[in-house]
A = this chain, B = another copy of it.
């Protein structure tokens, strides 16, 4: 008998009919002899509808009240799922995040889980019940106020519960049946990956894969909770995410997949004095505005005037705020110029096989060259290579890399055997 945590996303719960289908799957898992804990997001458009109502009564609502409002969405979906499960004859009890012992930091709207004390959930399991826990929400330890966990919060709830209950697996259900070697809308022969390690999934998530949010994978890795990405519309086994890349034998290490990201913009600061503390002014201002930056590149100094250029990427959504901040700094510090460009795309190749197989970087660059695509920025980590290209070139770049590393086809992803990194 295993303990299985299952998390269902909003699109899996968009109607009464879909809720009953989810309930049927949950009950089947229980009948196979497993203990089951279910974490649900809010139904379909509930969160958007609540946000819309909030905007109508107050364009800048207090974060504490916003959390009270949004947490109602998961109360609704979770109790409905519990009712549907009961209609199939199983014993069930639903719990709010607070009742399930999900303790968080104080920060409303984007709280972090600091501890999970799922005593009531464990009691329900011990009584033979299926336990339902409202995702995305918790209670902060000092104020005892309702908090929400921000984007991907329900995935994080599921993983944190799985860790606290020492579950055997945390299954994440949505409308896709696994992690693919590339976005199938861009690469028609992209194939589903059976298994990958936490580090690979982290790199894919960081590089733009939307299938799992970074923080839930970080949490799963920290507590060594195996995750499985599955579709609520099929019985496909999906993709298993488990283990460290250290444990993968060199000869089994593969290149996992290609991730793409169109959500970022590129900002360049030109002619900034190459003296200690000058670049820090820019990064401190952006950090204080809570703008995440990525792919920072500083070129070598110009010999003439001892200035340099700095380029980084940041979410397009934060682009305008970033430019306002930097333009002010440009004036007061006499930087030459600040340039903004949101017509870019990021393409990344990820795989634990990279570290043991030289030549991947060269093959990556050649694949883009052969497709006639210019690389504007370029960074690597131990198991990832990322290039920034024109947004218009992104799909072609993705296909070129996917082809070059033979990630497609009907068979399992190939062991990479390139030459000369």
Kindly identify, within residues 47 to 84 of chain A, every residue whose CB is under 8 Å from any CB belonging to chain B: 50, 53-54, 56-62, 64-66, 68-69, 71-73, 75-76, 78-84
A: interface residue count bin: 35 or more
A75 with B69: CB separation less than 8 A: yes
Which of B57, B68, B84, B144 touches A87 (beta carbons < 8 Å)? B57
Which segment, of A32-40, A91-99, A185-193, A345-353, faces chain B?
A: A91-99
Q: How far is the CB of A50 from chain B (nearest CB, A)?
A: 7
Which of B57, B81, B86, B93 touches A80 (beta carbons < 8 Å)? B57
Q: How far is the CB of A52 from chain B (nearest CB, A)?
A: 9
Interface string of A1-42 (1 = CB under 8 A from B): 000000000000000100110010000000000000000000
A53 with B16: CB separation less than 8 A: yes
Contacts of A64 in B (CB 8 A): 93
Contacts of A60 in B (CB 8 A): 87
Q: How far is the CB of A144 from chain B (nearest CB, A)?
A: 7
Contacts of A94 in B (CB 8 A): 65, 68
A82 with B56: CB separation less than 8 A: no
The copy count of this chain in the complex is: 2
Determine the residue in chain B with the shortest Cβ distance to A23.
B57
A54 with B66: CB separation less than 8 A: no
Contacts of A84 in B (CB 8 A): 57-58
- In the complex with contacts A57-B19, A144-B99, A65-B50 CB distance below 8 A: no
Which of B23, B57, B66, B146 touches A16 (beta carbons < 8 Å)? B57
- In the complex with contacts A68-B75, A75-B71, A20-B57 CB distance below 8 A: yes
Q: How far is the CB of A9 from chain B (nearest CB, A)?
A: 18
Contacts of A56 in B (CB 8 A): 16
Contacts of A93 in B (CB 8 A): 64
A82 with B62: CB separation less than 8 A: yes
Contacts of A57 in B (CB 8 A): 16, 19-20, 23, 80-81, 83-84, 87
Determine the residue in chain B with the shortest Cβ distance to A16.
B56
Contacts of A20 in B (CB 8 A): 57
- In the complex with contacts A56-B16, A57-B16, A79-B83 CB distance below 8 A: no
Contacts of A68 in B (CB 8 A): 75, 78-79, 82, 94, 96
Instruction: Give A contacts to B, CB under 8 Å.
Output: 16, 19-20, 23, 50, 53-54, 56-62, 64-66, 68-69, 71-73, 75-76, 78-84, 86-87, 92-94, 96, 99, 120, 144, 146
Q: Name 7 interchain pairs, CB-CB below 8 A, sorted by A.
A: A53-B76, A61-B87, A65-B83, A69-B83, A71-B75, A72-B73, A72-B76
Having A16-B57, A19-B57, one finds 17 other A-B pairs with CB under 8 Å, namely A23-B57, A50-B76, A58-B83, A58-B84, A58-B86, A58-B87, A61-B87, A62-B83, A65-B94, A68-B79, A68-B94, A69-B76, A69-B79, A69-B80, A96-B146, A99-B144, A120-B144
